[in-house]
Amino acid sequence: MSYFLNFYSLFFHTVLSLLLLSCAHDPSRTLSSTSTLTEDFLKKVMRESSREEPFYGNVLVAHGDDVIAEASLGKASEEFDLDNTKDSRFVLASVSKQFSAGAIHQLLERGRLSLNDKITRFIPLTSVHPQNQKAWEKITIADLLGHRAGLMKDPQPDFINTSKKYRLNHLVSEIIRDPRLTSQKYGQFSYSNIGYTLLARVVEIVTSFDFEMYVNFKLLRPLKAFQSGLYHRSKIIKSLATGYYRNEDNHYQRLCCVDFSTNMGSHNLYSSTHDLLKWTQDLMHHHKSVPPSLLEFEGASKVDANTTYMNGLYRTSHPKLGLHFTHDGFSGGYATRVSFFPERDLTVIILLNRVNVFTAQNQIEAIHQRIIDSL
């Protein structure tokens, strides 16, 4: 009997030792336990990044589904003296693009469209201003996802009224009638919000769903991301942090009168740090909502020697943390970053609702860098 007990004891300890050894050599498994990140550390970094403008917003760092540290600072509402909390929601600005790309990749997976489909399959040549029709004939779904369609960046104010609430079909009809729609940069990376508005319209045409309904039911609900949705100014949104900003004239003001329906597909989602963590985990691992193809970057555009772009994300390689996907967003009173490292299963989310137009980019970069340096 003692022989068998000794054998099983030796076997158990050998297996346990091997398991512990494998974990010790897997850096992604040890990241959360070795990190020095704490809530106090994040708050210190947030304050230090905002010498010229008080920090209003939330930051979250996670390893897998587990939150390593998170912190909230500043006001969600100065008018009502309400502080930001972990449940505060923020307009995502250009971070919204990856959700539009997610909808497109769902349709790609189901065979409803292909990356090589021309935009003329969905929006006829005759709908476009005659001056742009030759350029319009070239544009594919992949071109729109990779910002190489040769489109101008934003709808022009004399064609689009930013205080008006649009339906997506009416918005696109206005945009494509503008003779300035296209440029001479087809085939080169040239950032265009319009491209993602067109992709949102493609989703509507292919599915016969309203884009907002599609995003809510097909992208967000499978993730139980109930703190997220499409923003417009007339909607009552629980726990939405008000956007404040200091403009080019150094005037401090509250976001007012802009209806984000003019940026459908490119700018108008809102979310919280915890819902965005569900999103990055789905992109990296779970695929309850979005198929793996979104991160495969088929047909990606080259931005520079070290960076490619596709599907609402920049892809680079970090010397310490490996493959890196990221995107920032900036829009009247909000500044955002979603950043994740699949090889380490690391997510960093930064959401601000008080923005200095001159310093916001540097502020986000400084916070992100301090977090990465601490790992």
Please report the pLDDT score of residue 251 as a whole number. 79
Q: How many CB atoms lie within 10 A of CB 304?
A: 10
Handedness of CA 8, 13, 16, 17 (dihedral sign): negative
Q: Per DSSP, what are the bridge partners of residue 83?
A: 75
Above 80 in pLDDT, residue 31?
no
For residue 106, the model assigns a pLDDT of 98
Pairing of strands 322-331, 313-318: antiparallel
**Strands 252-254 vs 244-246: parallel, antiparallel or unpaired:** antiparallel
First to last CA, the chain: 49
Which of 98-102, 150-154, 244-248, 282-286 comes out lowest in average pLDDT?
244-248
pLDDT of residue 4: 39
Mean pLDDT of the chain: 89
3-state DSSP helix/strand/coil % of the chain, to nearest 5: 40, 20, 40
For residues 169-178, average pLDDT: 96
Least confident of 5-14, 81-90, 299-308: 5-14
Classify strands 334-341 and 322-331 as parallel, antiparallel or unpaired.
Answer: antiparallel
pLDDT at 35: 61
Query: pLDDT tens-digit profile of 265-290?
Result: 999 999 999 999 999 999 999 999 99
Per-residue pLDDT tens digits for 183-207? 878 999 999 999 999 999 999 999 9
pTM, 2 dp: 0.90
In angstroms, the CA 290 to CA 65 distance is: 17
| Tens digit of each residue's pLDDT (9 = 90 or more) over 144-165 | 999 999 999 999 988 988 878 8
